[in-house]
Amino acid sequence: MKVTDTVDAPVAFFYQRIIDSVLYDINHENGQTLTPAMLQGYEYRKSMGPRGSIRIKITKIVQNQTYAFDSFAGPDTYHTRYELRPTEDGRTEVSYQEDVDYAETMKKRNSQLMMILIGWSKKRRMKKMWAQIAASQDQI
């Protein structure tokens, strides 16, 4: 799945909100306080409630440009990537890419069907969340 949108916030602000969220998540999950410079290659476990936990590995981090990570849930691997680009008018073009490597063909087919059925809803929620992040700059 790929979602692209332009948000009304500078790249540095939007990127920092993503990284702040990652740092909060790591601290919440294992009590570690990290800096952005420590994130590249960092791995941690994230609780998924009664469904158990997943392992997350941060695969690429480039300040104000890229944040990417892989999530490992059993035999399946989820690849997630944010690419940020400034626009000429000071806004940010956000590109979100999500792919999955399934261990089983049936899971892959089921996922493809579900994306057809609910993909538009997920994309809409992503864009709404990005707009809320952009709007939060007025609160700082």
Supply the pTM of this predicted model. Answer: 0.86
Instruction: Supply the DSSP symbol for 75.
Output: T
Q: Which residue has the higher pLDDT, 103 or 71?
A: 71
pLDDT in tens, 41-58: 999 999 988 888 999 999
**Least reliable range by pLDDT among 14-18, 59-63, 91-95, 128-132:** 128-132
- Supply the pLDDT for residue 69: 98
Range of the domain at 79: 2-139
Mean pLDDT for all residues in the chain: 91
Asked whether 72 and 89 are in contact (CB, 8 A), the reply is no
Instruction: For residue 85, name the pLDDT band (cuts at 50, 70, 90).
Output: very high
Going by DSSP bridges, is the β-strand pair 76-86/66-73 parallel, antiparallel, or unpaired? antiparallel
Domain count for the chain, please give it: 1
pLDDT in tens, 92-119: 999 999 998 888 877 777 777 777 677 7
Average pLDDT over residues 22-42: 96
Q: In this prediction, what percent of the chain has a pLDDT beyond 90?
A: 71
Residue 13 scores a pLDDT above 60:
yes
Taking alpha carbons only, the member of 111, 80, 113 closest to residue 3 is: 80
- Supply the pLDDT for residue 60: 98
- Supply the pLDDT for residue 140: 56
CATH number of the domain encompassing residue 8: 3.30.530.20
Element (H, E) at 127: helix 105-135
Asked whether 65 and 84 are in contact (CB, 8 A), the reply is yes
